[in-house]
Structure 1
Amino acid sequence: MLNKTFAKSALLIGTAFGAMMIPTLAAAQDVPAAAPVADASSDGEIGEIVVTAERRSENLQKVPVSVAVVSGDALRTIQTGGEDILSLSGRVPGLYAETTTGRIFPRFYIRGLGNVDFYLGASQPVSIIQDDVVLEHVVLKSNPVFDVNQVEVLRGPQGSLFGRNTTAGIIKFDTIRPSQVFQGRASASYGTYNTVTADVGVGGPIIADKLAFRISGLYQHRDDWVSNTFTGTGADGTKGGKDVMGGFDEKDVRLQLLFTPTSDLSINVSGHARDYDGTASIFHRGALKKGSNNVQAEPRTSFAQDEGDNNPQAYKTYGASVNAAWDFGPVTLTSITAYETSHGSSRGDTDGGVAQNYAGRPSYGQSRGNLRNLDQWTQEVRLASNSDGALKWQVGGLYFDSRDDTEFYQRTYFLTGPDLNGALPNPNNFVRLHDINTSWSVFGQASYQLTPALTITAGGRVTEDKKSTELVRSVKNAAGTVDSFPATAPRYVQLKDTQPSWDVSARYEFTPDVSAYAKVARGFRGPTIQGRSAVFNSPFTTANSETIMSYEAGLKTRPFNNMTFNVTGFTYKVKDIQLNGNDANGNGVLFNADHANAYGFEAELEWKPIRNISISLGGSALHTEIKDKNVYAQVCALNGAVTCTVQDPTKIAIIFGAPATLAQIDGNPLPNAPKWQLDAAVRYDIPLWTGGKMFVSTDWNVQGYTNFVLYKTAEFYSNGNFEGGLKVGYTTADNKYEVAAFARNITNEKNLKGVIENYNAAIFNEPRIIGVSLSGKF
């Protein structure tokens, strides 16, 4: 039954979704998807979209993979109000993204598969690929996307061609590359809270036909806009104030040099740097009253927080890559060498309130994660055929090496004196971990056109994944004389596994405009170690490898020159699925459940009903279910009392010497797996006598029931979250320049995006941003 929130959003976007009521879609009984809106100034036809989902350039309509594409222009429109990579959430059917650690730690979910673990060394089943380089560490996955050509979201296991940890899928970013034609583009916007975004790129030849460059930059800023109403001085020296949180400064640059010494050899050398300074996630303690999911009474722009120094967060990242391709005629040899490094820290008041304002013994929460250093090296070599004949093939190998030193600090480290409970400062209340993750793999894929209509594709990869975590420094007492880590617990843990991944697909072309495909795939995610628990003097926890068997079938159609419509149905089973719960300290604990099942569909429609109107619609439906009667998760608790309304069967168990309430999670949905998602984007152009045009564009997304934790409660979920954007402007006759007014989250919805369970704390979405924008290209 549709709730009031969804009814409200349905009314707001009713006009856009009304376009869906055509016979083709009625027969399909689904809501199509959010492809990028095409340029409404063209002749009314839908242009070809080229993707590299199979590591070669192909028409989207001819690839036997469920792929969604967001153009660079569409992404820049979405991010006009200062949003980051999380803005993709809700704009692509089957994709969801969130964070409880600010802008430096996005977590992605495709078809419901993801990882809620907030550990800096957490493994995620969604891989991020930027310019053919895998970004595996969670901090690297937050690298800003700017001067981008397009984004491809590959849904389902992609282990044959893209390597490790891809049981859920891939988000692939391709930036604009250098060329021998001098060209540039720029977009800039200014809005509420002094929100500034400037995304620019310019490049061209240095030496004709031999050397070209492109330099790109991103600048984003927002003033602090959230006030801390705390009037005292916290035990760590924290003081409140007006507008002390919520702001950020993002500064990024990338330089590319493309060498083409001969017509057969190209070498693209790329280097980038990031400097980010902002606010960690803001937690609103007690915003979720026990038994209720309503957060509307909680102010978004102010709250009281007594510790955490108003949640500072800062990171610097640098990277470089060399992408070289040699064309030998029948085959092309490609080598991609890349290095990434990062360091920074994030601190926050994790209870998100003034402890003494809540009944019972004052309970505090504060922590800091510090990435001292990170070094990631990757080397890929690939040999691919160049034939346009019936057989196409490619083989290759990948080596991955990631090493980091990570520290976790707990509350008493920051205290300047005793708190209300008598806790004293402890300058030794932190741990340092050394993590190493190495992986190698060999892979191959072949595609053969059996008949003019039927093509079979098969691929496989063998991957060895090895991880180790060493406790370099453990928590000690204030005097530094007593080590608190259990003497019987290992300080060094290593896990290793070698697994095959493979896929087989068949594509049948009924007509040049209608094709169907079916695909079966096996994916693999390596074993995982959770070392952060050492800061609570608890042993490391681990999880074994998970594997997935996925089945999907899709229909890709172009019923008219002004319409494309694609739909995919899928089902999968993840064996030994890796899950993350909490222990008595609210600390992440890894474990495996027997398996999880899922089924659903995604659909995408792009349509130009008349010359000056473009419509993109999208939708997905998803059912996920954890299956293991013997697996329990610890529930929300504080000072020995359960703080939320648990709706699963529970039992009491002794954990770390104290009784704890555990919930049976068998049959529950996966966390952050929306049951359905809808999105729409519409643009209407009004030609003027000057040759230019006025335009109005709008985009909306709506999200169904989404559980945030492993167990079911009356508090920790969202249902009917929606957001919309509006843009009104003028484009010149040559389509090179645009000036507009815009609004993001135009209705100023306050959506629940995450929770801190034991404090019933809420995390909210971005506020409404209204402003003006300019863009141009040459």
Structure 2
Amino acid sequence: MKQKYFQPALLSLAAAVAPGIQAETVLLEEIIVTAQKREQSLRDVPAAVSAITAENVEDFLDAGENIRALAGRVPSLQIESSNGRQSPRFYVRGLGNYDFDVNATQPVSMIYDDVALENSVLKSIPLFDVAQVEVLKGPQGTLFGRSTTAGAIKIDSVKPSDELEGYAKLSYGSRDTISTETAISGGLTDTLAARLSIKYQERDAWIDNTANGSGDDFGGFDELAYRLQFLYKPSDDLTALVKVHGFNQDGDQPQVFYANAFTPGVEGLRSGFDVERAGHDAQGGYEMDQFGSSAKIEYQFNDVMLTSITSYDTVESFSLADVDGGIQGGPEAIGVLNAQAFFSSSSGDGLSDHYQFTQEFRLSGETDKFFYMAGLYYMDEEITVDSINYDNAGTLLDLTQQEQQTTSAAIFGQIEYFVTSQLAVTAGLRYTEDDKELEVIPGPGSTAPADTIDASDEYVSWELAANYDVTEDFTVYSRLATASRGPVTLGRFGFTSQADTEENTSFEIGTKMDLFDGRARWNATVYTFEVKDQQLTATGGVGNTNELLNADKTTGSGFETDLEAYVTDNFKLSFNLSYNKTEIEDSNLNVELCSATPLCTSLDPIVDTFAGFYGPVNLVSVDGNALPRAPEWMYNIILDYTIPLQSGEIYLQTDWNYRSESSIFLYESVEFVAEERWIGGAKVGYTSADGTLDVALVGRNITDEIVADGALDFLNLTAFTNEPRFVGVELSKRF
């Protein structure tokens, strides 16, 4: 065994966090990730990567939650949506995109079973029967390509097995939430195995709409998702995995908006706010139908692996909401909770036509001192976006369509060279060509002019990294990397805009170490980045539209750390912490301040004022502001304790997640703040000795903390919130 030069100091630090750690027999399992498109120990990857186990994913998704429940569960990860259960938006190290358009691109890619899902609506696919979730932080431009300037969320589902096995799970809880999930896997022949996975969730209406008197009027949904996989292995050299999957979703409100949820000049939800009471005098609802398929073929000839991944996905969706979130009135409604003065806004957006096709080929091989990978990638996406305004009775007022085609082609490669048995150096390069064509098509009632935008660019991304094993338990790494997000276009309701390609250059150094002979694990990273021509979105202001912008640059820096340890055989501690500091640096970047009644209270300097449809419009400078939706501090702690019994074990678990406040929009104001929050969960259950039976009592947001999670700024001080307390029971059986 090599000498552990730094072990005494590390032991002291870890013991300070978890002073009860003892020389017990339970060890942490090695974390295997595919962050570099091959299976590796997490210690061998020269980058900041966090893995969320299948068990933890299941726990976080209790209460009928979706992927947003993973926010903050690993360092620097934030997830939110102004469309409720649709179109989640991801942020890593403060970088993300809070644009609510259904054709908006994000700097954090979602890669589901090796396929990058481009459109935000596609990313609504629920998590179920998941093997692992990996969060890749920092630019991922070499292997994963376009739209990964901030990072990537990589999700892998459980694959078919030859042996007959599976599970069934049923849960019921608050707001009449029902969730069922099942999977079965087994061999069909000596060379063919299959796995079928199904998930169904529903919730009853639980929010009283004061526009209709008393009673539960909305907040309900139902969702059905399925996945069927076939694994064909006729020889040791050839493997083919074919998958078909689909998702159907219906609900009565995509997002519940609360008019005048803020008091002018005061941060936080106003006194008297009740998450179970809203005032909507217009219709709402949402639906989505998604279908996709993919084929991954791997063939080993000599010392070279050929991999082909082909995918096709299509989705239709539509969301309609009472956007103003209040009951229409006159001057007396100004500033009144759940009321809207003078006029109403009811609008809907959706994809009436969509498809995405991707194809990737790659070759890889390795020797004792060398690994290489080279590949080709192509993506073609075509969408038709419907943007519709309605009156309160649900009659169509105007329809404007956008037709957009996005193509992306790339050639990429990566090499890893082992200079010594302790030092490995990695280099990667990718050349990408992107093209976007957008056409605005005015429909019935639309006053928008017909318009077209054609934006294209070609760019190179690269990375250099090194991984050094100081001892067999202690690794240090450094990484310098770039990634680009190609040109983007928007045309909602005919308001066209575009932004040029952005490029992120990031440098990070970190450590990964095992402590106490494998009973604890501690990782830490510090980083800095600079994004040139960052693509930003100015939302709202004086209308229900978005505008794309480029900032000269945005800078950021921070640190991340996580600790996992068995304090005793029966007590496990998991903790992570991140600090992310971002700043927009552009002295000429000005955006519209909220311009409806009542006005928000600006914290930014006003640089110009001009007349608008609803009154004076103020332009404010956002130079020096932090990025929106970028909390500086996030941390998460999970405590697991088990009590052994002769027939099995009782387990007790609690998890607590903290997020500091952040601005909701590019400008800073007193009111429009995503508030700091502590969200806690708890779970008490029993598992049989053979691990096949599990029954549990589950609690989510057990302190019932309700805060503003987001807002709309073009009408009044309208907000939406997080989910209230949930309590439920669940039963699962494995076979």
TM-score (norm. length: structure 2): 0.94
Contact 1:347 1:367 in 2 (8 A): yes
Matched residue, 2:520: 563
Structure 2 residue corresponding to 1:542, chosen from 479, 498, 502: 498
Contact 2:390 2:397 in 1 (8 A): no
Is residue 158 from structure 1 mapped to residue 140 from structure 2 by the alignment?
A: yes
CA distance in 2, matches of 1:215, 1:30: 46
Deviations 1:345-383 (A, max 9, x none): 100011101120513951322100021011000000011
CA distance in 1, matches of 2:728, 2:463: 47
Contact 2:351 2:385 in 1 (8 A): yes
Matched residue, 1:722: 678
Q: Secondary structure at the match of 2:57?
A: helix
Matched residue, 2:281: 306
* AA in 1 matched with 2:170: A
Matched residue, 1:14: none
Matched residue, 2:218: 245
Matched residue, 1:347: 320
Matched residue, 2:724: 767
Is residue 222 from structure 1 mapped to residue 203 from structure 2 by the alignment?
A: yes
* AA in 2 matched with 1:571: T
Is residue 147 from structure 1 mapped to residue 129 from structure 2 by the alignment?
A: yes
CA distance in 2, matches of 1:25, 1:91: 25
Q: Secondary structure at the match of 2:142?
A: helix
Deviations 1:269-307 (A, max 9, x none): 100111101121011000111111221531001122211
Matched residue, 2:369: 390
* AA in 1 matched with 2:434: D
Is residue 62 from structure 1 mapped to residue 44 from structure 2 by the alignment?
A: yes
Matched residue, 1:17: none
Structure 2 residue corresponding to 1:587, chosen from 508, 522, 545: 545
In structure 1, stretches of 5+ residues that fail to align are 1-21, 33-39, 232-239, 417-424, 477-482
CA distance in 2, matches of 1:578, 1:219: 37
Instruction: Say if 1:431 and 1:450 are closer, same or farther in 2 by CA, change over 3 A.
Output: same
* AA in 1 matched with 2:691: N
Q: Secondary structure at the match of 2:671?
A: coil
Contact 2:403 2:438 in 1 (8 A): yes
The Cα RMSD (Å) is 2.0
Structure 2 residue corresponding to 1:90, chosen from 52, 65, 72: 72
TM-score (norm. length: structure 1): 0.89
CA distance in 1, matches of 2:16, 2:438: 46
Is residue 199 from structure 1 mapped to residue 174 from structure 2 by the alignment?
A: no
Q: Secondary structure at the match of 2:188?
A: strand
* AA in 2 matched with 1:329: N
Per-residue deviation, 1:48? 0.5
User: After TM superposition, what 4+ stretches of structure 1 lie above 3 angstroms from structure 2?
Assistant: 22-32, 653-659
Matched residue, 1:370: 350
Is residue 379 from structure 1 mapped to residue 359 from structure 2 by the alignment?
A: yes
Deviations 1:90-125 (A, max 9, x none): 211100011111211111100011111111110100
* AA in 1 matched with 2:543: N
Q: Which moved more, 1:653-662 or 1:574-583?
A: 653-662
CA distance in 2, matches of 1:190, 1:574: 46
Per-residue deviation, 1:586? 3.5
CA distance in 2, matches of 1:30, 1:624: 31
CA distance in 2, matches of 1:747, 1:197: 23
Deviations 1:32-70 (A, max 9, x none): 9xxxxxxx9x94101101000011101112211101111
Instruction: Say if 1:406 and 1:771 are closer, same or farther in 2 by CA, change over 3 A.
Output: same
Structure 1 residue corresponding to 2:422, chosen from 450, 453, 470: 453
Is residue 405 from structure 1 mapped to residue 384 from structure 2 by the alignment?
A: yes
Is residue 292 from structure 1 mapped to residue 266 from structure 2 by the alignment?
A: yes
Contact 1:31 1:619 in 2 (8 A): no
* AA in 1 matched with 2:280: Q
CA distance in 2, matches of 1:716, 1:684: 40
Structure 1 residue corresponding to 2:61, chosen from 67, 71, 79: 79
Per-residue deviation, 1:737? 1.6
Instruction: Say if 1:494 and 1:559 are closer, same or farther in 2 by CA, change over 3 A.
Output: same
The equivalences for 1:126-141 within 5 A come to: 126-141=108-123
Structure 1 residue corresponding to 2:608, chosen from 639, 652, 662: 652
Per-residue deviation, 1:606? 0.6
Per-residue deviation, 1:750? 0.4
CA distance in 2, matches of 1:43, 1:365: 62
Matched residue, 2:3: none
Structure 2 residue corresponding to 1:630, chosen from 588, 596, 604: 588
* AA in 2 matched with 1:304: G
Per-residue deviation, 1:415? 4.7
Matched residue, 1:616: 574
* AA in 1 matched with 2:71: S
CA distance in 2, matches of 1:157, 1:741: 40
Give the structure, 1 or 2, with the largest relative contact order (CA under 8 Å, sep 6 or more): 1
Q: Secondary structure at the match of 1:637?
A: coil
Contact 2:264 2:598 in 1 (8 A): no
Matched residue, 1:676: 633
* AA in 2 matched with 1:225: W
Structure 2 residue corresponding to 1:601, chosen from 533, 555, 559: 559
Is residue 100 from structure 1 mapped to residue 70 from structure 2 by the alignment?
A: no
Matched residue, 1:283: 257
Matched residue, 1:337: 310
Per-residue deviation, 1:214? 0.2
The equivalences for 1:506-525 within 5 A come to: 506-525=466-485
Per-residue deviation, 1:29? 13
Matched residue, 2:643: 686
Structure 2 residue corresponding to 1:440, chosen from 401, 409, 429: 409
Per-residue deviation, 1:163? 1.3
CA distance in 2, matches of 1:344, 1:79: 23
CA distance in 2, matches of 1:361, 1:287: 14
* AA in 2 matched with 1:347: L
In structure 2, stretches of 5+ residues that fail to align are 1-7, 335-339
Contact 1:225 1:247 in 2 (8 A): yes
* AA in 1 matched with 2:263: K
Per-residue deviation, 1:186? 2.9
CA distance in 1, matches of 2:290, 2:25: 44
Per-residue deviation, 1:24? 3.9
Per-residue deviation, 1:187? 2.5
Per-residue deviation, 1:78? 1.0
Per-residue deviation, 1:731? 1.0
* AA in 1 matched with 2:36: E
Instruction: Say if 1:527 and 1:583 are closer, same or farther in 2 by CA, change over 3 A.
Output: farther
Matched residue, 2:530: 573
